[in-house]
Amino acid sequence: MGPIKLGTHISDYKTEFTGLDSTRVDCYEYKYDGGGPAYEYRYKGRLLFALMPAMDSDSIIAIMVIDKDFKMKNGIHPGSTVAQLKEKNGKINIRMDYLTGGEFMPDSINGTNYIFDTPDDSLVAAYPDIDKPGIIKRTDVKCNWIEIKSYNKTQ
């Protein structure tokens, strides 16, 4: 399967996605608010990735990388821990998603967010000020998926 590009249409990939099972799910499953769908893709039952189209369109606005075998050029992958993210990226910021829950680490250089679908009782960070990044308290938490929102050649 070749690269999936943001801004292209899901329907453009019918040939490339042959052999994958697709399931329509609510976009809220991937921390998007808006009521539209997301599309999950599996191979032999194994969840690989999900595509987030723009509302009322099949134009791809985000790619959710879920399978741990997909790796960024720096070796980071879904399932990488906060400690591994710190090791590869140096200083990191963890933020709370107050709208849909969970936490994320933005990476503006690579156009990605590392998503931590953490319940309130096991957060990565403490948030004394909602306008600032959290204070990291747990480095063993694994990111659940990587959200790609813009293209960068380092990915």
Mean pLDDT of the chain: 90
Distance from C-alpha of 14 to C-alpha of 20, rounded to nearest angstrom:
10
Least confident residue range of 10-14, 33-37, 129-133: 33-37
Instruction: Give this prediction's pTM.
Output: 0.90
Q: What is the pLDDT of residue 91?
A: 87
Average pLDDT in the 117-138 region? 94
Distance from C-alpha of 111 to C-alpha of 124, rounded to nearest angstrom:
21
